[in-house]
Amino acid sequence: MNILILGPQGSGKGTQADLLAHKLGLFHFEIGNFLRQLAKENPEIDEKVNKKGELLEDREIFLLVTNFLDFKKMRNNIIFDGYPRSITQFNLLKSWLDKKGRKVDLGIFIDISRYESIKRLTSRRIDRKTGKVYNLVTNPPGPEVKAEDLIQRQDDREEAIKERLNEYEKATEPLRGVLRKEGILLEVNGERSISEIGDEVLTAVRERLEDERSKD
């Protein structure tokens, strides 16, 4: 089973993808981590992604992703987190999976308001000593963490977040409509606890798995 997990910045999609991957034995493919690893070895990607903050062209990122999956001999039981981020990227991935005899089985959209996204991201802090990420609203640090050790990234400041949300709304929001039209979209209220969202997502995925098995 291949799953896409979507949602605006701060929606908690990475957390839910990780939980789902562990519970169902899926491979969690997270595009941000993937590109950061590539950037360590590829100066061109490092320049574009890390130094200039640019997005890679659709075809370029598609080839990077699928070359990696081909190398790993993976084409099923994947949860794609942060990719695809546009209709073009989705169509490229869909075509690639089709050639492998696979498909996108489910798209999960974790929905939060623009206000909530900004509130959550501006509350995100990183422990400069450990690198651990906290959120002053949803996941505050314990008393052992000193306030002076918590730092805020530049791209977690309000103006930077608004720019990222604008890009998201232009590129990714239309994909939501495509997945809904194809009948594979699960829309989830993301303004609840992690466990409540996780329970709903896990139940829906298990139901989809049962439906697929009954067809075989």
Binding-site entries for AMP: 36, 54-56, 82-85, 89, 153, 164
Count CA atoms within 13 Å of residue 3 on its CB side.
Answer: 29
Residue ranges for the known binding site are 10-15, 36, 54-56, 82-85, 89, 124, 133-134, 153, 164, 192
Q: Rounded CA gap, 200 and 19, in Å? A: 12
Residue ranges for the known binding site for ATP are 10-15, 124, 133-134, 192
Q: Which residues pair with 81 in a beta bridge?
A: 5, 30
Cβ(53)–Cβ(153) under 8 Å? Answer: no
The first and second tokens of residue 50, run together, are 């890390």
DSSP state of 128: T
Q: Which residues pair with 125 in a beta bridge?
A: 134
Closest of 15, 63, 50 to residue 201, by C-alpha: 15
